[in-house]
A and B are shown apart, each in its own frame.
Chain A
């Protein structure tokens, strides 16, 4: 998981729990997609196989989180469309990039550190969330324990690989650097919506001005066209 959802809930709120579970499912799914891409593009059979196994685990986790969420939705009769998991929303939520995979931008040693550090952070957040669920949803707590074991294994494997392929000092510096980067990445992702408080009034002002200009325009539309190919301007975007 490369972008880890906020999971420090204070009291048990089924709807809020479902939102967090949905975010964890999204994070796992995006991680699976990244791993699958890495498997396809690395010229090392052993590492490629490892990435595939990692991807399979992440897909499995996504299903577990989704199943837990669906059970809570049923138990508490929650009707919220926002709780459905839509892969296409992963882009807007910042879990994956539109034009590249992380593997394309990092060398394998750095990629391993990236995975290891983020899996460790995810593990900690997941422990907090699992403990939150323990009392109210023991079935979920049990299932999340299995996910935690996988996450721990992924982190250990990645960091061991990174340790073996980096000098001691270089490894330590990169791990700290990745932790700092991860911290800022989360701050950025969580504050995206907050910028709207600044920009929205400006945009509304622009809209009112456009509305005023348009009031004086008389734009006509043609419902018919005698020769479409002749009348279309192929180089124009309007």
Chain B
């Protein structure tokens, strides 16, 4: 009997299925539609699951949606309707979207699968975030659970505690429009990046600048009381513009081209100041959560938690004992939280239990048997293909990986990645700028064995857990500068991933690489900018052709791309 969690309509749409007996499958709609950040109802994911797991009313326990649909729609509407003429553009847009949104979730589900109404349950937005956080720890009562995002059901920040009997208490909430997430997104919009996509670019940019606008931004966001000054915002008035003229009076013209040097300098300062306000606000929120709960261990979820620079910066202030951000803290991971809600709602005193961060389907579930031979030729028929892989990497070759189960979060953790030797500057630059077509200010991330971490990096032990899924930055040591300088960001940090699982192919590649004198690989997701990560072998082939990558490492060997 399956539990299915669904997150959709607002951010990356996703579905999570589990029977809590070892079968689990996390999918994103973007993997099927090939539209990055696809937020529509996950028709294609569900069709795949229905076919793969023969889903029907009889073998489904619950389908759980990650939030209360009407509440989510209403709370934002309620704020703007107080001034209908001034906010008419937003309100009309919101009204028109009424029938495209999650309110018709049950109807949308029923078009695909005929399921009894009493099997559809609705969690709550921040509760789903919180219950996803629960899935990454064992001693649940030792932690305080903080959720922080743009907005969900009219809430922007929440603090929860859970006791050993799974009694969940919400001990504090902050309400829309007072949102640090929307504040950060508004600056993202101002700088000309796309909301929900460009925030990580603002984070990268911030390392190049100085927080010279701190005073001005403190006027806009009150970090102690978590309140925004709405004079600077328009997200409640307009569906297409989030900042007002008053913000332009502070920062000047929006959307300047940052390829021009003067604009770049100015925008990095704005980004740096914004990042500082975010970090100060989160510090304030964490202190509040610790004060209210009496706990010093924190689970942080919600889209804001994806800001790994903030996690690194907070750890340096020694205010908490431990801080964990799960691999997919945003709305897409909430599909897991929603499934957990259904499970907890049924059993009352237990939650779903996972022992892996690779909750996606394995490659043999995704692909038709033998389809890889259509696109690829195995280049080493012996068992020592790992030697081939590492020899090629050392020679500067870029190798794609496609093995094991898919990752859950936004970051590829080795199973659908692109690797190159981090020592080889030419390969690193080629990968970043030519193949991935990323901006020059976005660094690539290193991956290495857990045992080698301390040789090259330092990190506060309170956030060390997050290294397993690139959830934080860490500091580069002198040894890293000597040989691997091309992966170090301008502020001396790296978004490092450590590999612990000795059975994983990634571990074996790294182990083999050490024999040839290199300890670190560059690990970037297997996609081109603006495209989702590859899902099936067709995507692998098309992406390799587009990026001109010749080799791909799969579960059973190293393959070379064919011409078709």
Contact = CB atoms under 8 A, between A and B. Distances in A.
Contacts of A98: 40-41, 43
Contact of B91 (A45, A77, A207): A207
B255 A80 contact: yes
B92 A207 contact: yes
Given A80-B255, A98-B43, A203-B92, A52 B170 contact: no
A198 interface: no
Nearest to A226: B169
B92 A79 contact: no
A40 B564 contact: no
Contact of B35 (A81, A88, A226): A88
Contacts of A55: 542
A22 B85 CA distance: 33
Interface string A69-108: 0000110010111001111101100001011100000000
Contacts of B124: 228, 232
B211 interface: no
Interface residues of B, number: 72
A41 to B, nearest CB: 10
Given A79-B253, A80-B255, A237-B71, A59 B542 contact: yes
A215 to B, nearest CB: 9
Q: Which of A56, A87, A91, A196 has the most CB of B within 10 A?
A: A87
A39 interface: yes
Given A56-B546, A228-B160, A235-B120, A40 B538 contact: yes
Given A52-B564, A229-B345, A99 B41 contact: yes
B71 A52 contact: no
A204 B167 contact: no
A62 B255 CA distance: 23
Interface string A117-138: 0000000000000000000000
Interface string A32-67: 010011011000010001001101100110000000
B78 A88 contact: no
A204 B169 contact: no
A232 B127 contact: yes
A160 B91 CA distance: 50
The 3 closest A-B pairs by CB, nearest first: A234-B121, A225-B170, A228-B168
Contact of B81 (A84, A100, A210): A210
A22 to B, nearest CB: 13
Nearest to B36: A87
A180 interface: no
A74 B160 contact: no
A89 to B, nearest CB: 9
A211 interface: yes
B564 A77 contact: no
A237 B103 contact: yes
A235 B172 contact: no
A207 B88 contact: yes
B54 interface: no
A81 B38 contact: no
A221 interface: yes
Interface stretch (B189-197, B310-318, B377-385, B423-431): B189-197
Contact of B121 (A84, A221, A235, A238): A235
A37 B539 CA distance: 10
B39 interface: yes
B344 interface: yes
A164 interface: no
B70 interface: yes
Given A227-B169, A234-B121, A200 B35 contact: no
Contact of A235 (B33, B39, B74, B122): B122
Interface of B: 33-41, 43, 68-71, 74, 78, 81-82, 84-85, 88, 91-92, 95-96, 103, 105, 117-118, 120-124, 127, 154, 160, 166-173, 175, 189, 192, 194, 197, 253-257, 259, 341-342, 344-345, 348, 374, 530-531, 536, 538-539, 541-542, 545-546, 564
B538 A204 contact: no
B237 to A, nearest CB: 13
A21 to B, nearest CB: 16
A98 B104 CA distance: 15
Contacts of A221: 154, 173, 175
Contact of A214 (B37, B40, B78, B88): B78
Contact of B170 (A59, A207, A224): A224
B538 A52 contact: yes
Given A56-B546, A98-B40, A98-B43, A203 B169 contact: no
A53 B81 contact: no
Contacts of B175: 221, 223
A219 interface: yes
A55 B539 CA distance: 11
A49 B564 contact: yes
Given A86-B197, A88-B38, A203-B95, A211 B172 contact: no
Nearest to A84: B194
A218 interface: no
Contacts of B78: 214, 219
A81 B255 contact: yes
28 contacts: A37-B34, A45-B374, A56-B546, A79-B253, A81-B189, A81-B255, A86-B530, A87-B37, A88-B35, A88-B36, A88-B37, A91-B35, A200-B92, A214-B78, A221-B173, A223-B172, A224-B171, A224-B172, A225-B169, A225-B170, A226-B169, A228-B169, A229-B348, A237-B68, A237-B69, A237-B70, A237-B122, A238-B70
Contacts of B530: 85-87
A100 B254 contact: no
Contacts of B374: 45
Nearest to B346: A234
B538 A39 contact: yes
Nearest to A100: B43
B542 A56 contact: yes
Contacts of A187: none
Nearest to A62: B530
Contacts of A74: 257, 259
Given A79-B255, A214-B82, A227 B167 contact: yes
Contacts of A210: 81, 84
A191 interface: no
A207 B80 CA distance: 10
